[in-house]
Structure 1
Amino acid sequence: MNLTEAYAKEIEAVFAEAAEEIGRFPAPFDEKGQALLEAANPLRANAGTNLITFLLPFWLKESASADEGLCKDLAVGNVFAMLQFFLLDDVMDEGDRLGRAKVTEALVLGQWLQDSFQRYYGRRFGTEAPLWPYYREYLAAWATAVSREGASPADPRDPSGLAGKSALVKLCAAGMLSMAGREDRLPVLEEALDLVLATLQLSDDWADWREDLADENRNAFLTLAREKLAWPEGQPLDERAVKRAVYQADAVGELAGIVRTYGERLRELEGVPGVLLIFCDKIYEGLRRDAEEAEETVVRLALGGGLSYILSKKEK
């Protein structure tokens, strides 16, 4: 199943409403917000990995006995939260390079997005609703994960740690279950979502390893590459070493194996919506294909005497 195609109608409606809301931002934040929104729309750009952020309310609709309007409001609110955290990540990662004017612009736009998130969730949950303690809990988990990022190597086998930066994705689940009187189901669903978000983070780390080489502790795939190579402690990895891990030490195969284990754990949990299993399976299949392609490339180049070329030149 192609989840983007399967939920195209919902995505179109959610992003159309978000665009209408952003259109009411003051200039120039209306145009800048629209550009950011367009780049995150999987129907317009290659942004499929963020599907869970704004489709999760629809994926939980049956298990939470929710109506379509609730799902849409929470999905639109999630889009605003997602965009705000995109901007925060950019400022934290690239603030020195962006310069004062760009940082100011990002923070101001982020404040407008935060206000929109609060208003869309506020349509369904009053100030005293049981949702908001969960919001503070998830925000604290995000803050802890961000503040500790890079202090020690990211652990590819720690799903709750990997999911920390995405903790607020779970907020709609807490809200929907509390509204349905099913908060007793939340611990299991939180565990399931940690496994799903960890799977997504591992996939992102594999895709981003080159960008993360300068701060390799942030990237769980690089932790795995160092492990597979038995790389000396204190010696930074370089691109050639990581390619050795990919093409000679089956690091991507190991990564796919960890993701498969997360999927197996997910299946053992009671009442997990089937679409979450599909989402994880899609990520696993992509990693497995990448591992197979790496193995096939090594065999082909070794037969042709070109293995040294791939280690020094070939791009992922």
Structure 2
Amino acid sequence: MQWLSNFEGELELAFTKAENILAKLPVTFNRPALAYLDKFHVLKDGRSKNYICYLLPYWLGEHVEVHMTDSQNFAVANIFGMMYYHLIDEMMDEPNAKSTQQLPLANLIHLEFIQIYNGYFPAESPFWYYFKKYITEWAEAVTHEQHQDYFQEKSNAIAHKAAPVKLSIVSSILLTGEEDKDLITQLEDAVDTVLVTLQMVDDWQDWKKDLQEGSYNCLISMVQSQLHIPKDRRPTHAEIEQALYSTDLLLRYAERAESNHETLEAIKPIVPYLYQFHGYLCDNVKQAARQIEAERQLLQQGGLAYWLSKNI
């Protein structure tokens, strides 16, 4: 996992810098801001691991020869952006319970997010065109998620829920002094592909929780399509487990992730760590598929064989 290990020191510095900035917020907000940041510290155990959010500026900086200090600043901006959009997502899920406490905090964090980019890119910079583009992608994706089957109909919209991550692309490229539109488009597509597979991994791990909460989920979408369940109802827990253990559904889910990996071959020489990270995601899905397939075959052999595999 060189895509992570080669940058652990830089990540530590980025989170320390983010802590120092948030510590200077007004007293009412600095403590909750630091507590929220701690939930996402990638180098601490038991925290959310938004690897691509923090690491993409470093991965890109190697190709476009951005100074490490600048990559670190863009990583800090990504940390603040990630915190802001997580807070917004939580408020959208539970507007009455959390808005009063979280909305002021979210806006203060968003201000720090914007200020980092303001320090690099003046108002006339093309950066702000892309900024508007990615924020619009995010807004469209989160607004229509419950009304469209993105996984079956418009998979890129899944990635657009994290579209602001792509600010790392344009900030790194524009810092070289040239707007290479072809490279930006190529990397935008690549990052979208990685974000789709990342969501697939999360959705495999969280399908029970998402089913209970009514959240959109790629795996549930695939079950719904395979079982021809009408769109006005979701699969039941039993239907999903039946699809997992009586069909090759998860193998085909893994094949879709592998197909995504094949489309990334072109960016392997440009951003090798992004390609390696996607391979890591694919391995996660394939490992889960192999495990389910092994259990499925044991179940086909009979209850005794399955019991022996679990208890001996």
Normalization by structure 1: what TM-score?
A: 0.89
Instruction: Report deviation, 1:157.
Output: 6.9
Q: What's the counterpart of residue 166 of structure 1? A: 162
Q: What's the counterpart of residue 183 of structure 1? A: 180
Q: What's the counterpart of residue 76 of structure 2? A: 76
Instruction: Report deviation, 1:242.
Output: 0.9
**Matches of 1:159 and 1:307, distance apart in 2:** 39
Q: What's the counterpart of residue 53 of structure 1? A: 53
2:90 is the alignment partner of 1:90: yes
**Matches of 2:84 and 2:150, distance apart in 1:** 24
Instruction: Report deviation, 1:288.
Output: 0.5
Q: What's the counterpart of residue 199 of structure 1? A: 197
Once the two structures are overlaid, the 10-residue window that deviates more, 136-145 or 45-54, is: 45-54
Q: What's the counterpart of residue 223 of structure 2? A: 225
**Matches of 1:92 and 1:219, distance apart in 2:** 17
Q: What's the counterpart of residue 247 of structure 1? A: 245
Instruction: Report deviation, 1:271.
Output: 4.8
Aligned-partner residue type, residue 288 of structure 1: K
Instruction: Report deviation, 1:272.
Output: 3.5
Q: What's the counterpart of residue 287 of structure 1? A: 285
Structure 1 residues 306 and 268: alpha-carbon distance in aligned structure 2, compared to 1, 3 A threshold: farther
**Matches of 1:86 and 1:71, distance apart in 2:** 22
2:138 is the alignment partner of 1:148: no
Once the two structures are overlaid, the 10-residue window that deviates more, 114-123 or 245-254, is: 245-254
2:111 is the alignment partner of 1:115: yes
**Matches of 1:306 and 1:164, distance apart in 2:** 46
Instruction: Report deviation, 1:307.
Output: 10
**Matches of 1:69 and 1:254, distance apart in 2:** 42
SS of residue paired to 2:45: coil
Q: What's the counterpart of residue 210 of structure 2? A: 212
Which digits, 9 at most, give the CA deviation of each residue in 1:162-189, with x for residues without a partner?
2111111111211221222142311111
**Matches of 1:80 and 1:3, distance apart in 2:** 22
Number of equivalences: 306
Q: Does the 8 Å contact 2:33/2:105 carry over to 1?
A: yes
Identical amino acids, percent of aligned pairs: 27
Q: Does the 8 Å contact 2:138/2:163 carry over to 1?
A: yes
Once the two structures are overlaid, the 10-residue window that deviates more, 186-195 or 23-32, is: 23-32
Long gaps (5+) in structure 1: none
Long gaps (5+) in structure 2: none
Instruction: Report deviation, 1:270.
Output: 7.3
Structure 1 residues 135 and 158: alpha-carbon distance in aligned structure 2, compared to 1, 3 A threshold: same
Which digits, 9 at most, give the CA deviation of each residue in 1:99-127, with x for residues without a partner?
2xx32111111011101111122222222
Aligned-partner residue type, residue 107 of structure 1: L
Normalization by structure 2: what TM-score?
A: 0.90
Instruction: Report deviation, 1:155.
Output: 1.6
Which digits, 9 at most, give the CA deviation of each residue in 1:21-64, with x for residues without a partner?
11111123211111111110111134464111121110001222
**Superposition RMSD on alpha carbons, in Å?**
2.3
